[in-house]
Chains A and B, each alone.
Chain A
Amino acid sequence: MLPLRLLWRNWRSGEVRILAGALILAVAVVSCISMFTDRLDTALTAQSHTFLGADRVVRSSQPRPPEWQPLADKYQLGTATTIRFNSMVYSGDNMHLASVKAVSAAYPLLGELTISEQPFATDPEKISVAAGGPPAGQAWVDSRLLPLLDVSLGEEVVVGEKPLTITRVIIDEPDRGSNFSAFGARLMMNESDLAATRVIQPGSRVRYSWLLSGPENTLRSMLAELKPLLSPHERIVDVESAQQGLAKTLDTGRKFLMLSAMISVLLAGVAIAIAARRFAQRHVDQVALMKSLGAGCNKIRRLYAVQLLVLSLAASLIGLLLGSGLQALVAASVSSLFPVQLAAPGWTSLLPGLLTGIVCLVFFVAPPLWHLPTVPPIKILRRELAVSSVHYYWQAFLGLLAMIFLVVLFSRDWWLSGSIVLAIIALLVLVAAFATLLLGLGRQLGRRAGSVWRLALSGLQRNAQQSVVQMMVFGLAIMLLLSLTSLRTTLLEDWQLQLPSGTPNHFLMNIATDEVPQITAMMAQRDLEPQHMFPMVRGRLTHINGQEPTDEIRQRAEMLRREVNLSWTDTMSSDNKIVAGDWWDGWHERGVYGVSVEEQTAQDLGLELGDDLQFSLGGLRLEARVASIRSLKWDSMNPNFFFLLSPGALDDFSPTYLTSVYLPPEQKLFINQLLGAFPTVVVIEMDRVIAQIQAIVAQVSAGVELMLWLVVLGGFFVMWAAVSASMESRMQEAALLRALGSSRQRLLGSLWIEFSLLGFFSGVMAAVGAEILLLSIQYWVLDIPLRFHWQVWLLGIAGSALLIGLLGVISCRKVIHTPPGRMLREIA
């Protein structure tokens, strides 16, 4: 009871407010971020799973060995099968090379297979979610198959030797992915009808997928048992491999959020440490008094421990509430823009916040207060008696320790923590060295300066140690703020570039040469702007430098086992980059066509500049020499090719064309019209994927934005704490000066100069530290190009001089506007 009453009185007199505020902030930031990333993770995983149609898929070119199924049963996993192949389907005289998918009853395990009784339906009323695949004897098909075969729902088509009744059209299937090789329209049938079609013969190209779903742990154990049984043809596909681009964005975002969480905890920690130190100083007299009144050391320790415990607990609780409120706000603001629902955060995501509260208590609050209970009672009679307190070095050391602890807790990213620790140490050393130098220099200057300047400089010198510590604190806060602001800008720009609004969200493939002008015209009528029309020929790479590829290379490069898309162009897409060799304008070999190869492909095939490649295009030969190697961004949603040939190379090979276009949602029906007019054109709809990626990027961006503000708040707390810590001695001095007849203007002027100088020096050193930190983070952690940050220098130095000057003057305004007599009495 007593500790609570004391705590309440301390709160009332304002002594623990900064402490509580900073503690709340630290816990709020961490819990906000951990909940937010937890939700994003869950969303991403769920989303990716629905793209797979399962938690894991085992892909194979062979039917599944019978001994696998008992394994899945043993672990009670959900299973389903899909078997995909291309086959002619017939209706009367019409035929189409369809992309057939035979599925088992449980398909899909995750995600939604949506169907309709109305071809090309877009009205949600008309679309329903299928409970499983088509029943035996039935087929569900892509809407576009109907005009291609000139049939309608309820009529029959023949697959191989098996007639099937078309009962539904497929609107969307989860694991369709963005597979460009799926030329034909989809026909989905029941697995049990497969044998009767007799289309699968030895040597047919068939892809077997075994879909698995279940709890993560169980899945892992089962897959561990399965792995030794797999042959080289069989491959386990998980979420990560399904969505690499998005995963990378999210990973960078998560790193940034973690970084800002750590920084704001650090800032809050420094604020807490300063506030705790000040609290300890102010309580020396109180402890001496309580001791003289007969309270023993243990009793006092208990009193303060309980107070701090209660304070931290309350602050952590408020922090948790605040944190969850904030993350809900971000999530809500984003989901109003995008149709994405985030799952509620898991309970475990509360843990980091609570741990942060404990870490702050142990590393930042406890050390400065450690000696408080040992204040000797005689202090009450002998005011001048020195009281031992924790040295600044110790506190700095403990702070670093806390930082390392937090890094381990949150990210386990050693490069990141290394960069930060390095920058902080560099900053502290820099400050210590410069501050000594500057203060000495200031003394020289001060002698010659005008009276206001002299007053200010002597103010800095009188409290030399305090000035140095303040400079360190200001420098640290400003450095971290600068780094974070500039990182955020870089990241947001980077992401914005990745998928700007208006990113093409539909691919049109298989456009015949004579259809190109018609389709272009049709789009122009609707104000649609197609990207470049890429000519495309399918071919197989047969020889490298006149040799057939070795088995080893064959094993590595899947593309040797199938046909790939070849194209030519004279202008390179903006997201392609030459990493070796020259683009056509710099390539001048005569008598042979050039080919530009994608980086990873070149690596897999062991290709180098000048190697000769031979392709087989429908039985015809094409030879080309490697002219350049390109890197490209697969997640940019532009048509991309492994092999790009020099202009004219494909002229003899009757190409089809490929393009991409941005279709705004209200123009979605254009697809139906297009397919009605050109049934052989293949449309790949990426709009859903892109919208989801954009939603997630927007989420992360909003999180990043919010974080920045919280960190700014943390920085503000630190500065406030540091300024208020020196307030008492300053007030005393100022009051004395006023009493001795200094004018208000003179005092104000000297305060401005004193604090602005402090800010200026801190700003210079912060800018140096920030530049070091930024460059190392860019280089080691985020892996983005190095850039010099002139804004950091400008903003850091000018901004901090102004800000700290202002902060100092505002907190000292009381001195200036109170009559000196009263001031002295209040201080005494």
Chain B
Amino acid sequence: MLQAQALTKRVTTAAGTLTILSEVSLQVSAGDSLAITGASGSGKSTLLGILAGLDQPSSGSVILHQHDLTALSEEKRARVRAEHVGFVFQSFQLLPGLTALENVMMPLELHGVDNARGKAEFFLTRVGLNDRLQHYPQQLSGGEQQRVAIARAFASEPDILFADEPTGNLDSTTGAHVIDLLFELNREHNTTLVLVTHEQRLAERCRQRVSLEGGKVVERRPCEAA
């Protein structure tokens, strides 16, 4: 499903060239789950961005669902994302001007999916927010907002879902609910999961784990499924 080969990311700053990622390789098969852990500043988000095709590595390659992302233009990568990829972010990234329902409908509308409203309502109901459809993000708690974001991610029925610290802004109880939800949907739709976290509990529920430090993989182990 997802295969990364010797990913390196360098950036040039005023202070000189900085290597954020070096020689990171990994592989995730369909329906599997991967946790990326590491200290703050270790390069987790950078790696996630490259794996999802949001950014380009300085060298190395990423093959996602038979598409070599590093060889594609941004326009083509966008198409790959549209077809196969979903996202959940630490800061939810809901549009403040749209209701919960409209937020979930947005990607569906963007891709011209039929019956966007029906699908959005279905997934919002699935995450337990059927009575909050017309509420704006401002009127929702953090956990509720993240559930809306999860509904949005799953509504377009992606093959692979990337999540950058999905529980980072939530308290542990709420975080646990959100994680349960993620894994339930993962099972129901056979979605591949790639998530960044520094929560041990969350990392342990993934079947695979890589740990970063200073941009290098320092630990890698397949976990037993919980």
Whether B96 sits at the interface, judged by CB under 8 Å, is: yes
Q: Which of A431-469 contact B (CB under 8 A)?
A: none
Residues of A within 8 A of B89 (CB): 380-381
Q: What's the A-B contact tally at a CB cutoff of 8 Å?
A: 81
Interface segment, A9-17, A224-232, A702-710? A9-17
Known: A2-B110, A294-B79, A296-B79. A9 touches B54 (CB 8 A): no
Can you name the residue of chain B whose Cβ is closest to the Cβ of A13? B97
Contact indicator B93/A380 (Cβ below 8 Å): yes
- A9 in contact with B81 (CB, 8 Å): no
The chain B residue with its CB closest to the CB of A14 is B97
The digit string for A670-709, where 1 denotes a CB below 8 A from any CB of B, is: 0000000000000000000000000000000000000000
A293-B45 CB under 8 A given contacts A2-B109, A378-B55, A381-B54: no
> What residue in chain A is nearest B53 (Cβ atoms)?
A377
Instruction: Please count how many residues in chain B sit with their CB below 8 Å of the partner chain's CB atoms.
Output: 33
Which chain B residue shows the least CB distance to A379? Answer: B54
For window 64-92 of B, CB contacts with A under 8 Å fall at 74-75, 78-83, 85, 87, 89, 91
Question: B12 to chain A: closest CB distance in Å?
Answer: 15
Decide: B97 and A292 in contact? CB cutoff 8 A.
Answer: no
Q: Are the C-beta atoms of B82 and A293 separated by less than 8 Å?
A: yes
Residues on A with C-beta less than 8 A from B52 are: 292
Question: Is B164 part of the contact surface with A, judged by Cβ < 8 Å?
Answer: yes
Is A9 a contact of B138 with CB atoms below 8 Å? no
- With a cutoff of 8 Å between Cβ atoms, the chain A residues found around residue B75 in the complex are 296-298
Which chain B residues numbered 134 to 163 have a C-beta less than 8 Å away from chain A?
138, 156
Q: Does A295 contact B (CB under 8 A)?
A: yes
Indicate if the CB atoms of A293 and B106 lie closer than 8 Å.
yes
A294 touches B74 (CB 8 A): no
| Complex Cα spacing A354 to B170, Å | 52
Stretch at the interface among A125-133, A283-291, A542-550, A796-804: A283-291
Residue of A at shortest CB range from B169? Answer: A828
Return the contact of B98 from the options A9, A296, A376, A383 (Cβ within 8 A).
A9
Q: Decide: B49 and A381 in contact? CB cutoff 8 A.
A: yes
What residue in chain A is nearest B156 (Cβ atoms)?
A: A293
Bound together, the chains give a CA A9 to CA B75 distance in angstroms of 26
* Nearest CB of chain B from residue A385's CB, rounded to whole Å: 10
Partner of A9, one of B55, B83, B102, B156: B102
Interchain CA distance A351-B88 in the complex, whole Å: 50
Chain A residues, CB < 8 A from B111: 294
Say yes or no for A5: interface residue by CB 8 A criterion. Answer: yes
Judged by a CB distance under 8 angstroms, whether B214 is at the interface is no
Q: Does B48 contact A (CB under 8 A)?
A: yes
Expressed in whole angstroms, the minimum distance between the Cβ of B169 and any Cβ of chain A is 10
Q: How far is the CB of A775 from chain B (nearest CB, A)?
A: 48
Residues of B within 8 A of A10 (CB): 97
Query: With A293-B82, A382-B45 given, is the CB distance from A15 to B97 under 8 Å?
Result: yes
- B107: which of A286, A293, A376, A826 is its contact (CB, 8 Å)? A293
By the criterion CB–CB under 8 Å, are B81 and A294 in contact? yes
A294–B82 touching, CB < 8 Å: yes
Cβ-neighbour of A294 out of B49, B83, B91 (below 8 A): B83
Contact of B95 (CB < 8 Å), options: A289, A294, A295: A289
Bound-state CA distance A299–B109 (Å) is: 12
Chain A: minimal CB distance from B173 (Å): 20
> Complex Cα distance A298/B52, Å?
20
Taking a contact as CB atoms under 8 Å apart, the answer to whether B87 and A293 are in contact is yes
Are B87 and A13 within 8 A (Cβ)?
no
B45 touches A292 (CB 8 A): no
Q: Which of B45, B109, B112, B156 contacts A5 (CB 8 A)?
A: B109
Apart from A294-B79, A296-B79, A377-B74: 17 A-B pairs, beta carbons within 8 A: A9-B102, A13-B96, A13-B97, A13-B98, A290-B110, A293-B81, A293-B87, A293-B107, A294-B78, A294-B80, A294-B81, A294-B111, A297-B78, A298-B75, A376-B55, A378-B54, A380-B93
A-B pairs with beta carbons under 8 Å apart, 22 shown: A5-B109, A9-B97, A9-B102, A13-B97, A13-B98, A285-B93, A289-B95, A293-B82, A293-B106, A295-B110, A296-B74, A296-B75, A296-B79, A297-B74, A299-B78, A299-B110, A377-B55, A377-B78, A378-B54, A380-B89, A381-B45, A381-B164
